Amino acid sequence: MAEFSKDAEKLLELIGGKENVVSFTHCATRMRFVLADEKKADVKKIEELPSVKGSFTQGGQFQVIIGNKVSVFFDEFSRISRMDGVDKQEVKAAAKGKMNLLQRGVANLAEIFAPIIPAIIVGGLILGFRNIIGDIKLLEDGTKSITEVYQIWAGIYNFLWLIGEAIFVFLPVGITWSVCKKMNVDQMLGIVLGITLVSPQLMSASDYIAAVEAGEAVKTWDFGAFHINMVGYQSQVIPAILVGLVFAVFYRFLKKRVPEMISMIVVPFCSLVPAVLLAHTVIGPFGRMIGDGLASIIMAGFSSSFSWLFSGIYGLLYPLLVITGLHHSMLPIDLQTVAVMGGIYTFPVVALSNIAQASAVMAFVFLHKKDARVKEVGIPSFVSGFLGVTEPAMFGVNLKYLYPFIGAMLASGVMGIISRVFGVIANSVGVGGIPAFLSMRGDKMLLYIVCIVIDIVLAFLFTVLLSKTKLKDYGNK
């Protein structure tokens, strides 16, 4: 721990002292502080500390990038400050007091999806791998896929769909569970609620539409005076969020008012049954309408005659969404788009934006290759950026010196245009770095790899060119 003693002590002083710290914790690479007055933090001197690789403020938290040894730094900071760090959820709760209504909404949405993201990434990789072995004609002069030639790969292809189906078709189960976890209500009931949205008893939306178009009978629950269509919400995101929230409201309302002796019986029953009924009569159809509408708006932009321009603007501005945290609000829309349209144009652009941020740092390191401090901060940043984790690159280097950030924005804007002209489309959301090519449609993977190469070159060149302008002095002010 001694290696961080001086820096931890100095950091405490530079953030305004013990009295300015409301709470603090750490994540994989960063110290996270909620400060009573963020203006008291001397950002310039903090970033000059040997252990610090950058800093930024987001979501009401002042975050200091330390790196992989952040847990060691955290322990030393706790010892020196004689303060106890708290759980990340407590820090987030404290930070929300400093947010406006929009920021709180986005933060809550991010917390709902955070536990689900690893599963979504795994699912995207599985779909990509299945594309390679099952959809691309790689063998026998380009006439057959690997699964058509080798039975073992056909077995693997079919087996992997067991996982893919669990992740994407039954996604509402994970969402309702996460909503209940976030709202601090019974999580098992959240799982049950999610299952009622995707039960095998229910027709899928596509089967329902096909049945209606063919004039066939639609499965219903017959209540005598009225009927309810037995249609599920497989892969649907917005309906699952809304149903989960309504259930949580019912549960919390009843929990406060029902006597303890009958609470275990009354609260679960009287919150779950009405929530499920509303899910299949009002909330579900309304949520599907909202989700389909949002997905259609995005797809309309990417499918219009000006789709290349729309995609370019999206690529150019996406880094600004990341800075403000608004990129979290795009995930449910992206997943809804996948459910409705069977693919997504936004994720290829997002991944290229992340790669551009990493490439800009690589260029910055190249320009300052004699500076040991730059290499210490920059090399881990662009490596992690290429693997999809861009915060160290974006906040540790690019925003600090500005011209690498602008270079990355320009590159991702250009690549948004090129990727759309190439017609690149992803199966789903995946790893937002170089491995993103595995999430693309099989016939677009090679084109996307070409896009990645061009993206790296462009971001590198733009950054080098901008370093020769007046912008090069920004980070020295």
Q: What is the pLDDT of residues 267-298, one digit of tens each?
A: 999 999 999 999 999 999 998 888 888 778 88
What Å distances lie between residue 34 and 58, 64, 158, CA to CA?
A: 10, 11, 48
Residues 278 and 331 occupy one common structural domain: no
Number of H helices, E strands in the chain: 22, 6
Q: What is the number of structural domains in the chain?
A: 3
Which of 65, 98, 131 marks a domain boundary?
98
| CA gap 325, 284 in Å, rounded | 28
Report yes or no on 33 lying in a domain: yes
Output the domain CATH number for residue 63: 3.30.1360.60
Report yes or no on 268 lying in a domain: yes
Residues 321 and 426 occupy one common structural domain: yes
User: Within the chain, which residues score under 50 in pLDDT?
Assistant: 1, 477
Residues 280 and 394 occupy one common structural domain: no
pLDDT value of residue 36: 87
Which of 236, 270, 296 marks a domain boundary?
296
Nearest-5° Cα angle at 368, 367 to 370: 130
Residues 247 and 319 occupy one common structural domain: no
pLDDT value of residue 50: 86
| CA gap 378, 387 in Å, rounded | 14
Pull the structure tokens for residue 425.
């489309």
Asked if residues 189 and 251 have their Cβ atoms less than 8 Å apart, the reply is: yes
Pull the structure tokens for residue 147.
């699964």
Report yes or no on 143 lying in a domain: no
Residue 41 DSSP class: S
pLDDT value of residue 477: 46
The sign one gets for the Cα dihedral 350, 355, 357, 358 is: positive
Residues 251 and 366 occupy one common structural domain: no
Residues 265 and 320 occupy one common structural domain: no
Q: What is the pLDDT of residues 74-120, one digit of tens each?
A: 888 988 888 876 555 555 555 555 566 666 776 777 778 878 888 88
Report yes or no on 227 lying in a domain: yes
Report yes or no on 383 lying in a domain: yes
Residues 79 and 222 occupy one common structural domain: no
Report yes or no on 160 lying in a domain: no
Residue 429, classed as helix, strand or coil, is: coil
Residues 319 and 265 occupy one common structural domain: no
Residue 278 burial class via C-beta count within 10 angstroms: exposed 0-12, middle 13-18, buried 19 and up: middle
Residues 205 and 292 occupy one common structural domain: yes
Residues 330 and 212 occupy one common structural domain: no
User: Which residues constitute the domain of residue 69?
Assistant: 4-98
Which of 296, 312, 344 marks a domain boundary?
296
Residue 280 makes CB contacts below 8 A (sequence gap 6+) with 228, 229, 230, 231
Model's pTM, two decimal places? 0.73
Residues 350 and 254 occupy one common structural domain: no
Residues 362 and 466 occupy one common structural domain: yes
Report yes or no on 103 lying in a domain: no
Report yes or no on 347 lying in a domain: yes
Residue 454 makes CB contacts below 8 A (sequence gap 6+) with 415, 418
The answer to whether 27 is a known catalytic residue is yes
